[in-house]
């Protein structure tokens, strides 16, 4: 059976690559496309696709989702929650790749998804290397009691920290809380210099020209450190492969799951 997919952010950097990929799949179909900057235009003309009559809209509505099985949310934090809640109210499964949503947002999404008996798979980053960074970090946190997260991105990225850093901090909080030698309250000087406290982890966001996206976590013990780092390239392909997997798997469970590893076999 062909899975019908609505993509919010269909003409963006990652969204356009994903839209083209969904259109090329034999088991998927682009059933709707959302872009505030290309409203009213034909998706086929904007992205150079064949055999689709989808007209781009500027928001996610129940009417747009009438035939959709899955909504992919790849827009901005200021509209993402509205899109996600609209989809859940319509009984549509959701794949979330939008950065900047908070733990409180995700708690609300989980509650609504359970109520509507649909699945939501959220990933701050769909790249396989990020999935492995998260898993390796969870293992390291079992043995090393102190760590800090560094989040790198270009100067134009508004959300800080990134969704990848937020997700990593949240996942580590499920393992343990880091044991700071000097409590933040005892910091001499501006406490902000120690980074932001994200569910117990200190997170430092760097926004400078020259960076694409990178995530780094440094674990420290006496006389030794461990650094795990992911660096993104300029292509959206790593995110596309993960998002396609998420689309195929999001209707196999109920409620919210954070992290692509939840639908991957990484236990072997």
DSSP state of 55: B
Q: For domain 128-231, give the fold.
A: Dihydrodipicolinate Reductase; domain 2 (3.30.360)
- Selection from 84, 22, 76 nearest residue 47 by Cα: 22
What are the pLDDT tens digits along the chain (268 aa)? Answer: 799 999 999 999 889 999 999 999 999 999 999 999 999 999 999 999 998 999 999 999 999 999 999 999 999 888 999 999 999 999 999 999 988 888 899 999 999 999 999 999 998 788 889 989 999 999 999 999 999 999 999 999 988 999 899 999 999 999 999 999 999 999 999 999 999 999 999 999 999 999 988 999 999 999 999 999 999 888 888 889 899 999 999 999 999 999 898 888 766 4
Regarding pTM above 0.85, the answer is: no
Sign of the Cα torsion 7, 9, 15, 20 reads: positive
Residues in the chain: 268
31 vs 14, 78, 236, 267, CA distance in Å? 18, 24, 22, 35
What is the structure's pLDDT at 268?
44
- H-type helices in the chain, by residue range? 13-24, 43-47, 77-89, 103-116, 128-143, 163-173, 237-249
What is the structure's pLDDT at 71?
98
What is the structure's pLDDT at 267?
62
Architecture of the domain delimited by 3-126+235-263 = 3-Layer(aba) Sandwich (3.40)
User: Domain coordinates of the chain in residue numbers?
Assistant: 3-126+235-263, 128-231
Measured N-to-C along each axis, helices 103-116 and 77-89 cross at an angle, to the nearest 10 degrees, of 10
């Amino acid at each position: 059976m062909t899975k019908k997919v609505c993509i919010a952010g269909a003409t963006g950097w990652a969204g356009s690559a994903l839209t083209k990929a969904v259109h090329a799949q034999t088991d998927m179909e682009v059933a709707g496309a959302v872009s505030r900057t290309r409203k009213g235009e034909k998706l086929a003309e904007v992205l150079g696709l064949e055999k689709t009559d989808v007209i781009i809209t500027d928001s996610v509505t129940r009417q747009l989702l009438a035939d959709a099985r899955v909504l992919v949310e790849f827009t901005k934090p200021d509209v993402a929650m509205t899109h996600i809640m609209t989809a859940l109210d319509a009984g549509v499964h959701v794949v979330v790749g939008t950065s900047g949503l908070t733990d409180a947002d995700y708690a609300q999404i989980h509650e609504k998804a359970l109520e509507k008996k649909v699945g939501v798979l959220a990933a701050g980053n769909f790249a396989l290397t990020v999935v492995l960074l998260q898993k390796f970090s969870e293992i390291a946190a079992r043995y090393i009691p102190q760590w800090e997260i560094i989040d790198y991105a270009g100067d134009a990225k508004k959300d800080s920290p990134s969704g990848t850093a937020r997700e990593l901090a949240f996942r580590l909080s499920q393992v343990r809380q880091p044991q700071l030698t000097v409590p933040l309250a005892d910091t001499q000087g501006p406490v902000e210099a120690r980074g932001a406290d994200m569910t117990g982890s200190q997170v430092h966001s760097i926004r400078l020209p020259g960076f694409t996206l990178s995530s780094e976590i440094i674990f420290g013990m006496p006389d030794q450190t461990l650094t795990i780092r992911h660096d993104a390239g300029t292509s959206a392909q790593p995110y596309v492969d993960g998002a396609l997997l998420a689309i195929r798997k999001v209707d196999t469970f109920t409620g919210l799951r954070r992290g692509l590893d939840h639908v991957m076999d990484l236990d072997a």
